[in-house]
Amino acid sequence: MASKSNATTGIIIRPALRTDGAGIFGVLASAFRLEEGTSKWQRNRSLAFDGAEQFLVMELDREVVGTAMISRHWLRVGAAKVLKGDVGEVAILRSLQG
């Protein structure tokens, strides 16, 4: 999937890379007000760092400010295989929520 950008606003949406784990977790922690050390904090941290490639990230001026997790599932419909995507963990930095 290629990056999509909007030159007017400086927003880019792209597939996350393994190196985006910290940015993804920062957005999740901010958006969902995760308290350090709780089970939710640990689960989301693990999800961000160990499964970064499952996310799309939204960047504003090269900073990750939003995320969406897309889980891929292959289904068999008759003889055909169909790729289905489930969207979960959609988040935006709390400071940008309106």
Residue 11, CA atoms < 13 Å, CB-side half-sphere? 11
List pLDDT tens digits, range 69-93.
Answer: 998 899 999 999 999 999 988 999 9
Q: What is the pLDDT of residue 1?
A: 59
Query: How does residue 4 score in pLDDT terms, banded at 50, 70 and 90?
Result: low
Q: What is the pLDDT of residue 81?
A: 95
List pLDDT tens digits, range 6-54.
Answer: 555 789 999 999 999 999 999 999 999 999 999 999 999 999 999 999 9
Q: What is the pLDDT of residue 7?
A: 55
Q: Which superfamily does CATH assign the domain made up of 11-96 to? A: Gcn5-related N-acetyltransferase (GNAT) (3.40.630.30)
Q: How far is CA 90 from CA 18, 23, 24, 32, 52, in A?
A: 18, 14, 11, 10, 13
Amino acid type, 94: R
- Is residue 25 within 8 A of residue 48, CB to CB? The reply is yes
Q: What is the pLDDT of residue 88?
A: 86
